[in-house]
Structure 1
Amino acid sequence: MTSEAELNRLFWHSRRGMLELDRLLVPFLKEAFPSLQDADKERYVKLLACEDQDIFGWFMNRNQPDDEDLQRIVGLVLKHNDERPIEL
């Protein structure tokens, strides 16, 4: 179980200062993260430790991470985004 303090810390780490990343990571954290298995929560934390330009490239399908854990969490974030209603 993730504490409120840990969720707050993750929220601030999910805000990257790049609109494209913020629009993917923050909703994922709020909507999907709480119900993830512990291993996927650890993968998300690992993703947040990566460089913004790498994360951006992965989410824009320009390339993919070499690490299988990162591949999985990138896929989960993208799937979550695809399933969300379009914001106008």
Structure 2
Amino acid sequence: MLELDLILLPFLDNIYPSLEQADKERYWKLLECEDQDMFAWLLHRQDPEDPQLQRIVHIVRENTGKAP
């Protein structure tokens, strides 16, 4: 989904390298989710039920659009 790419690719370039290993693993777990779920989560329409996914979704939300 193009909209997810516009959120996740800058995050991957700018924020991901500085994450702790556990958060990097949460990010990869997030990528295994359905696109429609991720889209709803990242646009604050819903929150994931899984606390691990909640954490990485929060990190992505807080850092969307930020450059290093």
Provide TM-score, normalisation by structure 2: 0.90
Cα RMSD after superposing both structures: 1.3
> For the residues of structure 2 that align with 1:54 and 1:31, how far apart are their CA atoms?
23
Identity rate, percent: 55
CA positional deviation for 1:20: 1.8
Q: What is the total number of aligned residue pairs between the two structures?
A: 67
> For the residues of structure 2 that align with 1:61 and 1:81, how far apart are their CA atoms?
12
Structure with the greater relative contact order (CA < 8 A, sep ≥ 6): 1 or 2?
2
Give the AA of the match of 1:81. Answer: T
Matched, 1:29 2:12: yes
> For the residues of structure 2 that align with 1:55 and 1:30, how far apart are their CA atoms?
18
Deviating above 2 A after TM superposition, structure 1's stretches of 4 or more consecutive aligned residues are: none
- Structure 1: 5+ residue runs without aligned partners? 1-17
Equivalent residue in structure 2 for 1:52, among 19, 35, 38: 35
CA positional deviation for 1:59: 1.1
Equivalent residue in structure 2 for 1:40, among 23, 36, 57: 23
Equivalent residue in structure 1 for 2:56, among 43, 61, 73: 73
- Structure 2: 5+ residue runs without aligned partners? none
Match of 1:20 in 2: 3
The CA deviation string for residues 52-88 of structure 1, in whole angstroms up to 9 with x for no partner, is 0000010121111000110010111111115x27xxx
